[in-house]
Amino acid sequence: QVQLVESGGGLVQAGDSLRLSCAASGGTFTSYAMGWFRQAPGKEREFVARIRRNGVSTRFTDSVKGRFTISRDNAKNTVYLQMNSLKPEDTAVYLCAAAPGGSTLYVESSDYTYWGQGTQVTVST
């Protein structure tokens, strides 16, 4: 059993920055690839970013590339999503996810086994 708890969301203005955190417990953090997804009301869940177990390989969806950064601190069992130059279209519930293993790219919701409940990010104009 792996538990994931997101934090760091809030209300910001366009152009501002925000850092989300995802704290993991109940498993071996270094055994999991970690991902961030987001979901706006009435819309399908969207892949945002992922980082592999070694923390070296990262991947982002095109709409956030160059603005967002994903990182992990294995000593704290935490993965982060640094969001810069936020836009109103970034408004969504952001969810953290963990994948035990495999050889996929980890860009689909079905690639992940464990999910947090999400943290709300709202970007105003």
> What integer is the mean pLDDT of 50-69?
95
Binned at pLDDT 50, 70 and 90, residue 55 comes out as: confident
Query: Which two tokens mark 17?
Result: 């920055």
Q: Pick from 64, 49, 65: which is nearest to 106 by CA?
A: 49
pLDDT digits (tens, 9 = 90+) for 69-79: 999 999 999 99
- Per-residue pLDDT for 101 more than 80? no
105 band by pLDDT with thresholds 50, 70 and 90 = confident
pLDDT interval class at 15 (50, 70, 90)? very high
Which H or E run includes 71?
Answer: strand 68-73
Percent of the chain's residues with pLDDT above 90: 90
Reported as a single tens digit per residue, the pLDDT across 40-50 is: 999 999 999 99
In order of 23, 59, 74, 85, the CA distances from 14 in angstroms are 27, 24, 31, 7
Residue 30 has pLDDT above 80, yes or no: yes
Per the CB < 8 A criterion, the answer to whether 61 and 48 are in contact is yes
Q: Is 24 within 8 Å of 79 (Cβ atoms)?
A: yes
